[in-house]
A and B are shown apart, each in its own frame.
Chain A
Amino acid sequence: MHIDPLERKWAYTALGMAGLFVSIIMVDALIHGINAPSHVETIDSARLHLSEEFAEDNLGVKVDAQGDITVRMVAGRYSFYPKHISVPSETKVTFRWVSTDVLHGVHIPMTNMSTMIVPGYVAQVTTSFPKPGEYPVLCNEYCGLGHDHMWSNISVVAKENWTASTNAPVTGDAK
C-alpha cells in the first residue's frame, strides 16, 4: 500500500491536533475537576411532592451547617419552582434539578450553568457565578407547546451583600 510522505506528515499533524485537544479536556476534567453534569441518581418523578428533599418547603436556596449552598429546583410544564432565587457571586453553588413530568433543560445564559432535566433522575450541577446581575433561567429543551413561556429569574448578588436568608420570597411578577 502506498502513502505519500506528505500525506503521512499531515496524518501525524491531524492526530497531534486531536491529541492536543483531548489532553486539554483531560487536564480540565481530571485535574481541575471541570465535568459535565453526571450525577447518576434516580428519583420517582411522580412522587416528588412526597419526597423529603423536593417537598415544596425545601425548594430554593439552602445553606447547611458547613456554609455550603444548595439550590433545589423543580421543573414542570411550564415553569421552574421557585420562580425567583438569589445566590451570591463568586461562591460555589450546587444546583439539584428534578422534573415532575417531561424532559426539560435549564440554561442560565452567559454562564455555564446548563443541564438536561430528565424525569426519573436528579440533575446536579456545581458552579459559581463570577458576575453579579439579574439573569433569566431558561428552559432550553422542547417540553410542549408552552415551552417558550417556561423561564424564571435568578439574582446573582455580590458576595458581600448576600445574606443567607432562607428561601427567597416568591414574587408574583416574575414574568
Chain B
Amino acid sequence: MNNAVENKFILSHLWVAFIAFILACFMGVYQVLERSGFIEALTSPSVYFASVSTHGVLMAFVLTTFFIMGFGYYVASTSLKMPIWNKPLAWTGFSIALGGTVLAAIPLLIGKASVLYTFYPPLLAHVSFYIGATLLVVGSWFWCAIMVVMFYQWKNANPNQPVPLAMFATTANALLWLWTSAGVALEVLFQLIPLALGWMDTIDPGLARTLFAWTLHPIVYFWLIPSYTAFYVFVPKQAGGFLFSDEMARVAFIILVVFGLPIGFHHLYMDPEQASGWKLLHAFGTFVVSFPTLITGFTVIASLEIAGRLRGGKGLFGWIGTLPWTNPMTLSVILALLMLIFGGFGGLVNASYAMNAMVHNTAWVPGHFHLIFGGTTIIMYFAIAYYFWPILTRKPLFSDSLALIQLWTWFIGMAIMTTPWHVLGLLGQPRRISSVAYNSLLTLSWDPYEFVMIFGGFVLLGSACLFIYNVAKTQLSSASAEFVQQVEYAEPIHAVESLPEYLNDFKLWNKVIAVLMFISFGVPILQFFFMDTFGSSGWGY
C-alpha cells in the first residue's frame, strides 16, 4: 500500500514533528547557556521561561504526537496491507492538530504562556495556549479512532488470525492515549479554560495537579511505544535475525498499557493534597511497570544474539562484534538500550517513595527523563526516520555514514549533558531555575558541572542539525526511478499460529483498565468534592 498520496500524508506528519524538534533543540542550547550564568548578556528570566515552556511543549507534545500519528498510519497501512481508512477524516485530524499547535505556539513565543509544559495552575497563561493545546490533543484523537477502526476491520476480515504485532502495538498505543489524555483534558476543559476566560473565579490547584498526574506518566509510554515497536518489529530483521518471542512482546505491550495507566501518582509524592496510602499504592504499581521494560530488554537482546550468531558470532560475547553496527537501526537499538539502562536506574530512584525526597524537582529529574526521552525514545525516532525516508520518498538515504555519525554524537552528547545533571541534582540544584542567584557556598560546587552541561548541549545541537540535513537532502535529491525499498517486518523465530483472545484483542483490557483507574484515582479525585477545599485565583507570572 505504498501509494504516493499516502506517503505524502505520512511525510507531512513526520516533517511537522521534526521541524518542532529542531526548533526545540536550538532553544535547548540557549537554555543551558543561559542558566549556567556564564554569559551575563543572556540573563533573562522572561526569555528563559518562555523558551523552556516552548521547548517542553514542542518536544513532548508536538514532536511526539505528530511522529506517533505518522508512524501509526504507516504501520497500519503496511502491516495490515490496507489503505488508511477514511483519509478525509485523517487529514481533518492532522489539520486540527496543526492548527492547535500554531494557536498554542503564538502565545508561547511572545511570552504569554510561560507556564512550562505542565501548566502550573494557578499560574495562568493566555487562553489561546490552552485552546491550542487542547486542539492538538483533539486532532490526535482522530488518529486513535482510525487506528482502532482499522484494527477491527482487519480482525473481522481475518477471524482467528493473530493481528500483526506492529499493529497490535500501535492500537495498544492509540487506546493508551485515549485513556491517558482524558486527565489533562478534564483539567483544561473544566478548570483552566474557564478560569482563563473569567467564567470561574478560582480553581483548586490540588485537583488540577491530580488530574494532570493521571496523564503525566502514561504519556511517557505513549512516546515510548513506537520505539519499543521498532525494537520488536524492525530491529531483528535489520540486524539479520528473528524476533525471539512474538507472544512476550504482546504481553509486554499489554502490561505497559494496563499498568502504565493508573500509576501517574508518583509525580505527587511530595504533594500535600494526597494521603500516603494512595502514594504507596501507586509506588507499588510503578514498580510493576518496570516489568514490561525488563521483558523488552530481554527479548530484544535475545533477538540481537540470534542475529549475531547467524552472522557467525561465537562464544559468550562474540555475537556482539558480528552485529551490523553500521546499520542505523541496529546501532540505534544498542545505543537506545544503553540509555534505557541508565535512565531506568534513575527512574527506580525517582519511583522509590521515600528516596524521591532527595531528588524531587532537582536537576536529577531532567537528567533522568532526557536519558529516557531524549535518549531511548528519540534515538529510535531517528532510526525509524532513517528507515522510512528512503521508503517514503523513493530515494536512497543521502548519506549512511552521516547517519551513523549523527547517532553516535547524539548518544555521546546526551551522556555528556545528563551526567552533570544527575550530580547537580544530588548537590541540590533545582531543575526549573533560570540562573543561580543563591548566595551560598554550596552553589560554588555547581560551576564545573555547568561547563560540562553546555558542552553536551552543543554536541546535541550539532547532531540534531546533521539529522535534519540528512533527511532534507534525501528528500530534495533527484528521484531515481529504479530505487524501490519496502518495509520489512521481523519474523518471530517460532511462528505464531493461534493466540488466546486476550493476546489478540483489547476488549477485556479496557474493562480491566477501567477498574484499575477507578481503584487508583476514584477516591483521590472524589475527595476534592467531599472535603472543604479553598480555590485559588489565577496569577500572572
Q: Which residues of B contact A113 (CB under 8 A)?
A: 357
Q: State the Cβ distance, B118 to closest chain A Cβ, in Å.
A: 9
Complex alpha-carbon distance, A53 and B540, angstroms: 28
Q: B interface, how many residues as a size bin?
A: 35 or more
- A109: shortest Cβ distance to chain B, in Å? 2
Within 8 A of B (CB), among A6-32: 6-7, 10-11, 14-15, 17-18, 21-22, 25-26, 28-29
Residues of B within 8 A of A22 (CB): 283-284, 287
Q: Are B352 and A3 in contact, with the CB atoms below 8 A?
A: no
Q: Is the CB of B272 within 8 A of A140?
A: no
Alpha-carbon distance between A22 and B361 when the two chains are bound, in angstroms? 23
Q: Mark B279-294, 1 if CB is under 8 A from A, else 0.
A: 1100110011011001
Q: How far is the CB of A107 from chain B (nearest CB, A)?
A: 7
User: Which residues from chain B contact A119 at a C-beta distance below 8 Å?
Assistant: 122, 205, 536
Chain A residues with Cβ below 8 Å from B46 are: 145
A interface size (C-beta, 8 A): 69
Decide: A1 and B500 in contact? CB cutoff 8 A.
Answer: yes
Given contacts A1-B499, A18-B288, contact A116 B271 (CB under 8 A): yes
Q: Are A120 and B357 in contact (CB under 8 A)?
A: no
User: Which of B288, B442, B540 makes the CB contact (< 8 A) with A110?
Assistant: B442
Tell me if B122 and A102 are in contact (CB < 8 A).
yes
A27 CB, nearest partner CB in chain B, Å = 11
Q: Please, which residues of chain A bring their CB within 8 A of the CB of B302?
A: 4, 6-7
The answer to whether B187 has its CB under 8 Å from any CB of chain A is no
Question: Which of B151-159, B167-175, B241-249, B451-459 contacts the other chain?
Answer: B241-249
Asked if A136 contacts B438 (CB within 8 A), the reply is yes
**Which residues from A are CB-within-8-Å of B443?**
136
Interface assignment of B327: CB less than 8 Å from any CB of chain A:
no
Closest to A110 in B: B428
Is the Cβ of A36 less than 8 Å from the Cβ of B500? no
Interface string of B351-363 (1 = CB under 8 A from A): 0111011101110
Question: Is there an interface contact between B206 and A118, defined as CB atoms closer than 8 Å?
Answer: yes
Selecting from A40-48, A61-69, A155-163, the interface stretch reads A40-48
A141:B280 contact, CB within 8 angstroms:
no
Q: How far is the CA of A41 from the CA of B532 in the complex (A)?
A: 9
As a 0/1 sequence over residues 190 to 212 of chain B, the CB contacts with chain A under 8 angstroms (1 = contact) are 00000000000000111001000
Q: Are B248 and A38 in contact (CB under 8 A)?
A: no
Determine the distance from Cα of A113 to Cα of B428 in the docked complex, in whole angstroms. Answer: 11
Cross-chain contact B49 with A15 (CB below 8 angstroms)? no
Q: Are B291 and A14 in contact (CB under 8 A)?
A: yes
**Residues of A that sit less than 8 Å from B by CB:** 1-4, 6-7, 10-11, 14-15, 17-18, 21-22, 25-26, 28-29, 34-46, 101-103, 105, 107-110, 112-124, 134-136, 138-149, 151, 175
The reply to whether A40 and B358 contact each other, CB–CB distance below 8 Å, is no
Nearest 5 A/B pairs, CB to CB? A109-B428, A38-B276, A123-B272, A140-B430, A14-B294
Q: 10 additional contacts, CB 8 Å, given A14-B298, A25-B352?
A: A4-B302, A25-B353, A38-B275, A42-B532, A110-B428, A116-B271, A123-B271, A136-B442, A144-B123, A175-B439
Assess whether A18 is in contact with B291, with CB atoms less than 8 Å apart. Answer: yes
Shortest B114–chain A CB gap in Å is 7
Q: Distance in Å from the Cβ of A24 to the closest Cβ of chain B?
A: 8
> Which residue of A1, A35, A109, A142 contacts B432 across the interface (Cβ within 8 Å)?
A142
25 pairs, A vs B, C-beta closer than 8 Å:
A6-B302, A7-B248, A11-B291, A18-B287, A22-B283, A25-B283, A35-B276, A37-B270, A37-B271, A40-B273, A42-B534, A103-B121, A105-B360, A107-B360, A110-B427, A116-B270, A116-B272, A119-B122, A120-B533, A120-B536, A134-B440, A138-B428, A140-B362, A141-B361, A145-B45
**Contact: A114 with B45, CB < 8 Å?**
no
The interface residues of chain B lying within 8 Å CB-to-CB of A37 are 270-272
Interface residues of B (CB under 8 A from A): 45-46, 49, 114, 116, 120-123, 204-206, 209, 244-245, 247-248, 269-276, 279-280, 283-284, 287-288, 290-291, 294-295, 298-299, 302, 348, 352-354, 356-358, 360-362, 427-443, 494, 499-500, 503, 527, 531-537, 539-541
A21-B352, A120-B533 known; A144 and B442 CB under 8 Å?
no
Query: Which residue of chain A has the shortest Cβ distance to B270 in the bound complex?
Result: A116
CA of A29 to CA of B361, assembled, Å: 21
With the chains together, A101 CA to B503 CA distance in Å?
A: 50
**A18, B537: Cα distance in complex, Å:** 42
- Give the nearest-CB partner of B111 in chain A: A145
Q: Are B287 and A107 closer than 8 Å at their CB atoms? A: no
For the complex, give the distance between the alpha carbons of A113 and B357 in Å. Answer: 7
A148 to B436, CA, bound (A): 7
Q: Which residue of A lies closest to B284 (CB)?
A: A22
- Smallest CB separation, B48 vs chain A (Å): 9
